[in-house]
A and B are shown apart, each in its own frame.
Chain A
Amino acid sequence: MDQIFVALKHWLLGQLATILPAWLLPVVSALMSIAAIIGVFATLFAIMTILERKGLGRIQNRYGPNRVGPFGFLQPAADGIKAIIKEDVVPRAADKVVHFLAPVVLVIPALLVYSVLPIGRNMVAIDLDAGLLFFFAVGAASELAVFMAGWSSRNKYALLGAMRAVAQMVSYEIPLILSTISVVMITGTLSPVKIVEAQSTHAGLLPDWFVFTPWGFAGFILFMISANAEANRSPFDLPEGESELVAGYFTEYSGFKFALFFLAEYLGLFAVSGLGITLFLGGWNSPFAALDFVPSWAWFFAKLLGLIVLFIWTRGTLPRLRVDQLMNFAWKFMIPMVLINLVAAAAWHYVGGGFARWFVSGAIVLGSYLLLGRGLFHGKGITKRTYRYAE
């Protein structure tokens, strides 16, 4: 059961080897992986949209979509059809070529990063030694696409949104990458597959996932906050802040191009959550040895779904930050915090076993969190207030 998809692919390739020339086989193999990734994650995108709308609806004390199909679960299909048959409006003043290219440029890197994510045991499209580096290098291309979209639309809201998006994504890229460095330091490898293997043992009650160490826990939370900002999700959704910028950088997009922006946003979210799972949550490993019979890919998607629910919950609860506060948060809290987290990880490695390394590493993380967190609001006069009453 665990290896069913791997076996299926091998069997198919074996069958094809009899009819196809040998030089074509690697291409076919790659195409199979691509088709699987696109199929699975596009379906996940559809599930996520309905899940988010229903989940947000429940948080907001309403039903959410429930008209199309059983319990409204065919709503994504209806949305997709609507997006395709809608008129594609291109503003007269827009730079037409760039305007057309931007959503394409946004979607392709979002799909490319999946090639290095280990979705299950032996289930990774390319087992790159520097997979982590590849992930971030390709993922950084989305900034370009966002700015292309904002610039080419010739719309003031789009331009403001694009400027915000680039500033935000560049700022949060730094803590995103730095928070993964601690894992690289401990495991000594850049390969996502090897990082997952390093977490596959069980020590005592808890599995050996990095999230169950002080530095790993801090790293995971910092990573998820940065991932939230990278994916432009609430409360960091300023680039598309609909209350001030209408829709931000994709204000002037309609029809299927608009849907592509959504697709890319959600694909980016899944990819970065998948990376978080790989780095901190043990990848496709089961939490308990007794549960090893469940297929590894099922664990991966269960964890992914859990993180998605977390994102939906956050979105339904928090208001949005302001641009300067967002930047302050990145440069004055996140980046010092990830740098200190590197020290905590190093201490974990060098202090030696037992209780001492828990204490030292935990003290570094907790102390810096308290100090930096206090400094974030210090001197701004942001406090709880009491109110007086007139006589």
Chain B
Amino acid sequence: MSAIAEMPPKKFELLPKESGDGELLEVAMGPHHPSTHGVFRMDVALDGEHVVKLKPVFGYLHRNHEKIAEGTTYLSSMPYTDRLDYFCSLTNNWAYALAVEKLAGLQVPERAEFIRAVTAELTRLQNHACLIGFLTQDMGASGTPLMYAFREREKILDLFESLTGARMMCNYMRFGGCRCDLPDGWLAQAQKVVDETPKFIDEFERLLAENEILMARTQGVGKLSGELAINAGVTGPILRAAGVNYDLRKVDKYGIYERFEFKVPLGDHGDTYDRYMIRVLEMRESVKILQQALKSIPDGPIIDPKAKLRGFRPKVGEAYGRIEAPKGELGFYLISDGGPNPYRYRVRPPSFINLTVLEDMCVGQMIADVVIILGSVDIVLGEVDR
């Protein structure tokens, strides 16, 4: 018999309760658990089925992204940013390119700005669709909405593939523009996909939005106040579901977003249902932006002629570039010492910072709610752990 087999079995760890009878059961949800969206652990203390304490534990997927980026050239970090939030590689590209452009003072041609906006909104569409799918999966809907979302995502990934050559790891943006121009017929194909999307969103909403079980499971669950959200630095749809009007597309007006007509939906309750509905409404707004952008793409160059791919050395200085990624404010902070590598490279990952309010949302809820609250935060562990 091995040494392990001879060890006495471990007892359940029961924690003392602060008041009242009984003890707390400590359950480690993760790192291998079906619904923690990756290698993520929540140490939950349960009183019956109610959550008393919750400690998020992450770092299982740490890949040293920031330090590696400081050791290589600016450009060679670009494909690495794809792997941060691997659902939305194009918005990651954009945020990084924006930071470097600020650092080096590059101007992006108009056509490239349009292409960037189109790809970013397509990314937002597929991210939100899949998030809703995963959220209902966490509620136990046996994958039907998820499969519908994946069908839609497939069309958008096909568009990405024909544009960039890769479905998820696009590595498409360059400092001062984009890597390659749109292939022939891409616009018509994209127009077709965008035209079909409202039908898909309607179908989704008919299936889900007024479903009594879904409403009962999500309404009033995992409430987040606007005040706490601001104090914790929460951004993105979660912040807007808490009723705070903060969308970087409106605040910073980066790229060419000021030319498009679109609205920012806001929630009043800050619960899981609001977070779900805000995403549905944002998908509709994204469709509006896409319709406007696809109609008015100008001709012209796609990259700043001053931009150098080789021997790229921005002048000494620092820059922070941020965009409204589907999950929230994604920022890159760069310090240049004039060399080919950044002196300091730091990512502000939205899903990592949004996770910090997880315990506040979960305490007092039931264990089944923890899973859907985590699902509604919308995390990707590649970005949380970096």
B and A form one assembly: yes
A residues within 8 Å of B by Cβ? 56, 59-62, 92-93, 154, 156-157, 160, 164, 234-235, 237-238, 241-246, 315-325, 377, 380-385, 387-390
Given contacts A61-B147, A160-B367, A377-B216, contact A319 B211 (CB under 8 A): yes
Task: Apart from A242-B35, A243-B35, A382-B215, list 8 A-B contacts with CB within 8 A.
Answer: A60-B143, A61-B148, A61-B151, A154-B12, A321-B216, A322-B366, A384-B210, A390-B264
> For residues 348 through 386 of chain B, which have their beta carbon under 8 Å from a beta carbon of chain A?
366-371
Residues of A within 8 A of B138 (CB): 243
Assembled-state Cα–Cα distance A77/B102 (Å): 62
Shortest CB–CB separation between residue B208 and chain A, in angstroms?
8
Q: Are B212 and A390 in contact (CB under 8 A)?
A: no
Assembled-state Cα–Cα distance A157/B30 (Å): 12
Q: Are A316 and B139 in contact (CB under 8 A)?
A: no
Q: Per a CB cutoff under 8 Å, which of B34, B212, B245 touches A246?
A: B34
Q: Are B137 and A243 in contact (CB under 8 A)?
A: yes
Assembled-state Cα–Cα distance A319/B146 (Å): 12
Q: Are A244 and B217 in contact (CB under 8 A)?
A: no
Q: Are A318 and B266 in contact (CB under 8 A)?
A: no
Listed A/B pairs (19) with beta-carbon separation below 8 Å = A60-B146, A60-B148, A61-B151, A92-B4, A93-B9, A237-B140, A243-B138, A246-B34, A318-B211, A319-B136, A319-B141, A320-B139, A320-B368, A322-B366, A377-B212, A382-B215, A382-B216, A384-B209, A388-B266
Q: Per a CB cutoff under 8 Å, which of B137, B277, B369 touches A322?
A: B369
Q: Per a CB cutoff under 8 Å, which of A157, A245, A325, A389 touches B263?
A: A389
Q: Are A156 and B25 in contact (CB under 8 A)?
A: yes
Given contacts A244-B371, A387-B277, contact A320 B140 (CB under 8 A): yes
Q: Which residue of A lies closest to B269 (CB)?
A: A385
Assembled-state Cα–Cα distance A154/B13 (Å): 12
B273 within 8 A of A: yes
Given contacts A321-B216, A380-B220, contact A242 B34 (CB under 8 A): yes
Residues of B within 8 A of A235 (CB): 140, 213
Assembled-state Cα–Cα distance A56/B368 (Å): 24
> For residues 230 through 264 of chain B, which have their beta carbon under 8 Å from a beta carbon of chain A?
245, 247, 250, 263-264
Residues of A within 8 A of B273 (CB): 385
B278 within 8 A of A: yes
**CB-based closest 9 A-B pairs:** A320-B140, A93-B9, A60-B147, A319-B139, A390-B245, A389-B263, A319-B141, A390-B264, A243-B35
Residues of B within 8 A of A325 (CB): 216-217
Shortest CB–CB separation between residue A286 and chain B, in angstroms?
34
Assembled-state Cα–Cα distance A327/B277 (Å): 27
Residues of A within 8 A of B63 (CB): none
B219 within 8 A of A: yes
Q: Which residue of A lies closest to B4 (CB)?
A: A92
Q: Are A388 and B27 in contact (CB under 8 A)?
A: no
Assembled-state Cα–Cα distance A128/B371 (Å): 48
Shortest CB–CB separation between residue A372 and chain B, in angstroms?
14
> For residues 1 through 17 of chain B, which have their beta carbon under 8 Å from a beta carbon of chain A?
4-5, 9-10, 12
Q: Which residue of A lies closest to B207 (CB)?
A: A317
Shortest CB–CB separation between residue A150 and chain B, in angstroms?
13
Shortest CB–CB separation between residue B134 and chain A, in angstroms?
10
Q: Per a CB cutoff under 8 Å, which of A160, A319, A323, A382 touches B219?
A: A382
Assembled-state Cα–Cα distance A154/B136 (Å): 30
Assembled-state Cα–Cα distance A243/B144 (Å): 15
Shortest CB–CB separation between residue A344 and chain B, in angstroms?
24
Q: Which residue of A lies closest to B25 (CB)?
A: A156
